[in-house]
Amino acid sequence: MIDITGEGGRRRTFAVISHPDAGKSTMTEALALHASAITQAGAVHGKAGRRGVTSDWMEIERSRGISITSAALRFDYRGHVFNLVDTPGHADFSEDTYRVLAAVDCAVMLIDAAKGMEPQTMKLFQVCRHRRIPVITFVNKWDRPGRDALGLLDEIEDRTGLRPTPVTWPIGAAGHFLGVIDRPAGRAVAYERTPGGATKALTRELTDEQARAELGDDWSRAGEEVALLSAIGADHDQKTFEAHESTPVLFGAALSNFGVARLLDAMVELAPPPAPRADVNGVGRPLDAPFSGLVFKVQANMDRAHRDRIAFVRVCSGRFERGMVLTHAATGRPFATKYAQSVFGQDRTTLDEAYPGDVVGLVNAGALRPGDTLFEGPAVTFPPIPSFAPEHFAVARVRDSGKSKQFRRGIDQLDAEGVIQVLRSDLRGDQAPVLAAVGPMQFEVVQHRMAAEFGAEIGLDRLDYTLARRTDAASAPALDRERGCEVLTRAGDQALLALFTDQWRMRTIARDQPGLTLEPLIADTSQEPR
Paired residues of 111 in beta bridges? 139
Spatial contact of 91 and 491, defined as CB atoms under 8 Å apart: no
What does the pLDDT read at residue 71?
Answer: 66
Q: DSSP readout, 161-177?
A: -PEEEESEEEES-TT--
Domains of the chain by start residue, with CATH? 4-269 (3.40.50.300), 280-375 (3.40.50.300), 392-527 (3.30.70.3280)
Summarize the annotated binding site for GTP as residue ranges.
86-90
Alpha helices in 55-162 (DSSP H): 59-64, 94-101, 119-131, 149-160
Spatial distance between the Cα atoms of 113 and 254, rounded to a whole number of angstroms: 12
Spatial contact of 496 and 485, defined as CB atoms under 8 Å apart: no
Summarize the annotated binding site as residue ranges.
86-90
Per residue of the chain (530 residues), give pLDDT as tens.
789 999 999 999 999 888 888 888 888 888 888 777 655 444 333 333 334 444 444 455 445 544 445 567 888 999 999 999 877 655 666 677 778 888 999 999 999 999 999 887 887 888 888 889 999 999 999 999 999 999 999 999 999 999 999 999 999 999 999 999 999 999 999 988 776 666 777 889 999 999 999 999 999 999 999 999 999 999 999 999 999 999 999 999 998 889 999 999 999 999 999 999 999 999 999 999 999 999 998 887 665 555 678 899 999 999 999 999 999 999 999 999 998 988 776 677 889 999 999 999 998 787 898 899 999 999 999 998 877 788 999 999 999 999 999 999 999 989 988 888 999 999 998 899 999 998 888 899 899 989 988 999 999 999 999 999 999 999 999 999 999 999 999 998 899 999 999 999 999 999 999 999 999 986 333 333 33
Spatial distance between the Cα atoms of 138 and 200, rounded to a whole number of angstroms: 18
Q: DSSP readout, 359-407?
A: EEEEET-TT--TT-EEESSS---PPP-PPPPP-EEEEEEESSGGGHHHH
